[in-house]
Amino acid sequence: MSLRRSSSVLVAVSMLVPACAGHLRYDRSQDPGEAPLPPSANAWVLTGQELELNPTWTVLQTIVGFVPNVQTSSNGTPNGCPQVEIRGHDTVAGTSNPTVYVDGTRASDTCVLSSLLAPQVERVEVYPLGVSPRAGYMTSAHGLILIFMKQGDART
């Protein structure tokens, strides 16, 4: 492992551990705001206009409405969370769910996508290839979804 890669991993872990431990607030200075992503990011970005289109929609409904090829199902899920496929179904046993982060903290499952109302959210970034240009986010073979809450709705 190169020094550059090992330091990136160390930075990513050091950023996630305090947030998961619950003793530090999320650092809003790292929020993307309306800053455009580089063209190489291969992401779908949902901002204010899309997220406030229907005040009763969840984040999942908004993603399905705006991001092509996203498939969802709730059939047979043991924990009641929706199955979400951004890149299609995996042939290996297990789920094909993307990894989800809310304000920099990794969610344990996809339930957060159907429990958050879209108007509570400032921005959603969907990375079908599972790689974000933002520091601190692990890659995911099944895609990556980053959710940035509005400041008034941020979790402490």
pLDDT, one tens digit per residue, over 99-155 is 999 999 999 999 999 999 999 999 999 999 999 988 889 999 899 999 999 976 544
pLDDT, one tens digit per residue, over 57-105 is 999 999 999 998 898 987 656 678 899 998 766 556 567 899 999 999 9
pTM to 2 decimal places: 0.71
Q: Where in the sequence is the domain holding 133, given as residue range(s)? A: 3-153
Per-residue H/E/C for the chain: CCHHHHHHHHHHHHHHHHHHHCCCCCCHHHCCCCCCCCHHHCCEEECHHHHCCCCCCEHHHHHHHHCCCCEEECCCCCCCCCEEECCCCCCCCCCCCCEEEECCEECCCCHHHHHCEHHHEEEEEEECCCCCCCCCCCCCCCCEEEEEECHHHCCC
Assign residue 20 the CATH number of its domain: 2.170.130.10
The number of folded domains in the chain is: 1
